[in-house]
Amino acid sequence: MTASAEKFTQQTLTDVTPLTPSLFTLRTTRDAGFRFRAGQFARLGVTKADGSTVWRAYSMVSSPHDEFLEFFSIVVPGGEFTSELSRLQVGDRLMVERQAFGFLTLDRFVDGRDLWLLATGTGIAPFLSILQDFEVWEKFERIVLVYSAREARELAYQDLIAGLCSREYLAEYAHKFVYVPIVTRERVPGALNGRITTLIENGELEQAAGIELTAEHSRVMLCGNPQMIDDTRKLLKTRDMQLSLSRRPGQVAVENYW
């Protein structure tokens, strides 16, 4: 992927925080002209030692109203992009394409009572942006965030999630929010254990959320591991839940930029 100078801006890293040996967050300045909807992604570019540029898509963790951009990344062993990205430090420059992309946004659903946000790994990023935006809290009666990681230490942004409903502009909506953490490779108090699909099939996920997952009332967003997305889509289809398309509104929205 290439981009001309007119298509991107140079932003400065203001924070780089390692969470585990393979996970880190980074925050950059934000160009005054960069606009996005909560749930969208940006194409980021890093310059390699040989002078060439590598581009990858990253969902914004930050809200559309923040004056900065924040991203959540995994280090892929031998990965051309993440290896370069993980070496960047505060003060370094990062290229950001001027246009935001993606359809994992609330306008994918024309109706619905309950919103389910199902994420694995770094797929939590667009949902954090959505949850920090006022629109979702007005549109749905209940919001369920399901966040699955292999180990408890990989569950990122726990302080942000815990503090959402104490924000002044969201305080009156606190009763709408349910958070269900899942850890697949160890038993952790307060977290479910197992794959998302298994927990849907055996009823544990709905029991933990206190809400039924139905085609009539539920709208579901999926982001994360491609296998999880495929398996969950197939499972939801057995409950008469279809992918929401512009020509055919449905109950499921997916982001595929892996």
Confidence of residue 216 (pLDDT cuts 50, 70, 90): very high
Q: In whole angstroms, what is the distance from residue 51 CA to residue 243 CA?
A: 41
Among the listed residues 127, 12, 111, the one whose alpha carbon sits nearest the alpha carbon of residue 62: 127
Q: Give me the amino acid identity at 224.
A: G
252 alpha-carbon distance from chain centroid = 15
Burial of 144 (0-12, 13-18, 19+ CB in 10 A): buried
Per-residue pLDDT, 1: 47
Per-residue pLDDT, 3: 53
Confidence of residue 163 (pLDDT cuts 50, 70, 90): very high
pLDDT for 120-152, tens place per residue?
999 999 999 999 999 999 999 999 999 999 999
- CA-based max dimension of the chain: 54
pLDDT for 80-130, tens place per residue?
898 889 889 999 999 999 999 999 999 999 899 999 999 999 999 999 999
Q: In whole angstroms, what is the distance from residue 196 CA to residue 232 CA?
A: 8
Domain boundaries, the chain: 5-97, 106-254
pLDDT for 21-76, tens place per residue?
999 999 999 999 999 999 999 999 998 888 899 999 999 999 999 999 999 999 98
Q: Indicate the CATH number of 5-97 among 2.70.98.10, 1.10.260.40, 3.40.50.150, 2.40.30.10.
A: 2.40.30.10
The residue with tokens 């949850």 is 131
Report, at the CATH architecture level, how domain 106-254 is classified. Answer: 3-Layer(aba) Sandwich (3.40)
DSSP3 helix / strand / coil % (the chain, rounded to 5): 30, 30, 40
258 has a pLDDT exceeding 60? no
Per-residue pLDDT, 4: 58
Per-residue pLDDT, 78: 82
Top pLDDT among 258 and 151 is at: 151
Cβ contact 158:186 at 8 Å = no
Q: In whole angstroms, what is the distance from residue 97 CA to residue 55 CA?
A: 9
What rounded mean pLDDT belongs to the chain?
94
